[in-house]
Amino acid sequence: MTRDERAVLLKELLRIAEETRKFGYNPARFLQDVFRSERDPGALVTRYVRNPPSDGFARLFEEKRLDLTVENVAWKFRRLFPPDVAEAAAKRLSEAGFDVDAQPTAEPGEAGARAGAGAAVRPPPMPHESAATFPPLIATRLEKAAADNGFDRPLGGAGEWLAFESTHAPLRIWLGLDPAGLPVVAISRADVHRALGTLGTAVERTLPPGAVAARVAAGFDVLHQILRRAYQLARTLPNGLLDRYRKETRSLPSTTEAERLVVQRVGQDVFRAGLLEYWQDRCAVTGLAVPALLRASHIKPWAKCDTDAERLDVFNGILLAPHLDAAFDAGFITVADDGAVLVSPLLTEADRAVLGLDRPLRISRLAPEHRVYLAWHRAKEFRTREA
């Protein structure tokens, strides 16, 4: 298959995906397959035809739109495929009641790519953007970035943006391009945008309705990092853990001591899951990335918190390696507002060396909201002298 033939086939796959949106079908998974097979779309078509019918085929059968199936693409472009692939595609379509004989054969060669791509093959301009400034392949990459990172509800176009939501995180995002062709993400929550820190670069530009800020990514790899981090933050800030805890304990009794311990355990599990998300499965100090070894350390201890809101506040916690968690809980280390780890004078030089505290250590991802709890820890828990 020549490069031009691959290009025509890729455009046809993108066209049928876009057409399915018109009756409410979400082709995100199919588009991910298309994007992964960008260099060899013929292999993707062959795999779909040789495998059992997909869920998408069943949905298109229900909608009486088998003309938008990958099988029909294989049949239309049968000159590009081995005879057994074209025949298998025709058989599946025929068995579903589709008149394959009425389908014209598309011209896949260079002449066909030049003459036929405009009407029969080129996908129509996307509703949110003109084809010249928002190519279908770029739209596919943006959709894939959203879907891969938790934003599984495409909301269509909004001016120069593609909008998405998540079924698991209270956040809306909009994706687009800056004048240099770099991906841009706009975000609906100021706290999430602020907590993204140095990921991407904040930009001043016209925002879609509902967005509070935007930042540009240096490339699609950085865009994936921004979206993953935004998703994690949206699930934890500001009351995400408290909401999860209330939902999970709503039906649990709490009259006896044993029952209250069960409820408390649920809360601690929710808190740990939230810290793992916030700190991205890494110790905030050492970077240790073995979740099974990490401890969700409360800054203000669970028993000393005044409310569940304090107990389940993601900013009232730091994810730490076991030895640092023990030292922090016992007051032998604390953290300054700038993130520097402070070591109790009660630890000898030998003790510090054993614990790895004989060199400067720092937490780099502290938010302003952490500082209230850290000030409490320095005043109430940090050991500056023998008790």
DSSP string covering 134-154: S-HHHHHHHHHHHHHTT--EE
- Phi first, then psi, for residue 319 (nearest 5°) are -85, 120
Least confident range of 7-16, 344-353, 357-366: 7-16
Domain assignment present for residue 247? The answer is no
CB atoms within 10 A of CB 261: 11
Name residue, tokens 């938008």.
Answer: 68
Q: Tell me what the mean pLDDT of segment 231-238 comes to.
A: 87
* pLDDT confidence tier of residue 84, bands split at 50, 70 and 90: very high
Q: Tell me what the mean pLDDT of segment 185-204 comes to.
A: 91
260 & 376 share domain? yes
* pLDDT confidence tier of residue 238, bands split at 50, 70 and 90: confident
What domain count does the chain have?
A: 3
Domain assignment present for residue 276? The answer is yes
Domain assignment present for residue 297? The answer is yes
Q: Residue 52 is part of which domain span?
A: 3-121
Radius of gyration of the chain (CA): 27
Nearest-angstrom CA–CA distance, 174 and 172 = 7
* pLDDT confidence tier of residue 381, bands split at 50, 70 and 90: very high
Average pLDDT of every residue of the chain: 86
Among 29-33, 134-138, 226-230, the range with the most confident prediction by mean pLDDT is: 226-230
Domain assignment present for residue 386? The answer is no
In this predicted structure, what is the pLDDT of residue 296? Answer: 96
More confident residue, 110 or 229: 229
51 & 80 share domain? yes
Domain assignment present for residue 376? The answer is yes
In this predicted structure, what is the pLDDT of residue 289? Answer: 95
227 & 263 share domain? no
288 & 316 share domain? yes
Q: Tell me what the mean pLDDT of segment 234-262 comes to.
A: 84
Q: Tell me what the mean pLDDT of segment 80-90 comes to.
A: 91
In this predicted structure, what is the pLDDT of residue 129? Answer: 37
Of 76, 94, 121, the position where a domain reaches its end is 121
Least confident range of 26-35, 67-76, 131-140: 131-140
In this predicted structure, what is the pLDDT of residue 279? Answer: 93
- Phi first, then psi, for residue 208 (nearest 5°) are -70, 155
Q: What is the pLDDT of residues 121-177, one digit of tens each?
A: 333 333 333 332 467 778 888 888 999 899 988 888 767 899 999 988 899 999 999
In this predicted structure, what is the pLDDT of residue 133? Answer: 47
Strands 317-320 and 341-343: unpaired
374 & 281 share domain? yes
Residues forming beta bridges with residue 162, ordered by sequence position: 157, 175
In this predicted structure, what is the pLDDT of residue 130? Answer: 35
Q: Which of 67, 89, 76 is nearest to 19 (CA)?
A: 67
In this predicted structure, what is the pLDDT of residue 175? Answer: 94
pTM flag (> 0.75): no
Of 121, 153, 185, the position where a domain reaches its end is 121
Domain assignment present for residue 128? The answer is no
- Phi first, then psi, for residue 262 (nearest 5°) are -65, -45
366 pLDDT higher than 60: yes
310 & 271 share domain? yes
94 & 190 share domain? no
Determine the angle formed by the axes of helices 41-50 and 3-20, rounding to 10 degrees.
60
In this predicted structure, what is the pLDDT of residue 172? Answer: 94
104 pLDDT higher than 80: no
258 & 376 share domain? yes
275 & 316 share domain? yes
In this predicted structure, what is the pLDDT of residue 106? Answer: 67
116 pLDDT higher than 60: no
296 & 335 share domain? yes
258 & 371 share domain? yes
Q: Tell me what the mean pLDDT of segment 348-366 comes to.
A: 93
In this predicted structure, what is the pLDDT of residue 89? Answer: 92
325 & 364 share domain? yes
Of 95, 121, 147, the position where a domain reaches its end is 121
Domain assignment present for residue 317? The answer is yes
* pLDDT confidence tier of residue 200, bands split at 50, 70 and 90: very high
In this predicted structure, what is the pLDDT of residue 317? Answer: 96
Q: Tell me what the mean pLDDT of segment 200-210 comes to.
A: 89
